[in-house]
Amino acid sequence: MASILVTGCAGFIGSHLAERLLRDGHRVVGLDNFDPFYDRSRKQQNLAGCLAHARFSFHEADLRHGLDALVDALPADPIDVVVHLAAKAGVGPSVQQPVAYLENNVLGTTHLLEWMRQRDIQKLFFASSSSVYGNTREQPFREDMNLLSTCISPYAASKLSGEQLTYTYHHLHGLDVLNARFFTVYGPRQRPDLAIHKFVRLLQTGQPIPVFGDGTTARDYTFVLDTVDGIARGVDYLLGHTGVYDTLNLGNNRPVPLLELIRAVGEAVGVEPQLEFRPMQAGDVDITYADISKAQRLLGYAPQTTLTEGLAEFVRWLNTREVAAV
């Protein structure tokens, strides 16, 4: 049994990961600041299953507030691995609030790395993003691509900066690191601002679906439990290896065009979508497409969930949640 700190544990991916790590027999220390990007009660519901578990502890703190906040919030018990998921997410909002994204994602990450250094915690799984590839023309996206001039949103820049910081601490302090670039994760507990969540709600209330651009933009949609399986495998890899610094794609290896996604969401809901075409949004990329061969080789990562299965599971969760709220 290992002791694992999960930052952002009350979020969409973090809460699923905490549950998975507990099932795997680990002790989980959860950290979250309940960022007001969406309602706190949603995140508290995400944590409900973990809070009743004897091997889970939760601590509220904001990484932006520096080392003292972390020292005050977290127990002095040994930590074997840190999984750093906490971040201000979203490409569009980052264009409007670049300073907030840099404060959360770059400064906050730096504070965490310094806390790890002072505590002599030597293993980190860092959540990056497919956004760092920007509009790279060569596809699928490989981890060894030159990303010097690819970031086209503050969010993407903040995530690539995080990767560069983890390398700095690997080089200077011997930190073992896996950076994982997530590709459009979806599923139960998904943030309400994300496309699939919005599309389902619009269809269920008889409203048209906004289509930004001509509908040919494509995303490598990855079901949340497949992403979480990749993270859990990454934790096991870090626990079993030293001298590690690597970057992996955790995607599904199949881009889905926007119009195809909307059709699939309509089938999952049982409603024929009505479309409303709009201009492309600033910061959006044309396509994300993960080469997952390195993750397959190192971790045995192999996503199992089809888009049809994943959308059906999301719609079931959303309907159950809404019934429970009545």
- Phi then psi for 179, rounded to 5 degrees? -95, 130
Helix H or strand E segment including 59: strand 56-60
3-state secondary structure of 241: coil
The strand pair at 123-129 and 81-84 is best described as parallel
**CA separation (Å) from 308 to 185, 213, 230, 260?**
14, 24, 21, 11
| Catalytic member of 101, 133, 155, 301 | 155
**In angstroms, what is the C-alpha Rg of the chain?**
19
**Residue 155 catalytic?**
yes
Residues 6+ apart with CB under 8 A from 281: 92, 212
- Closest Cα partner for 181 from 240, 133, 109? 133
First to last CA, the chain: 40
Active site residues: 155
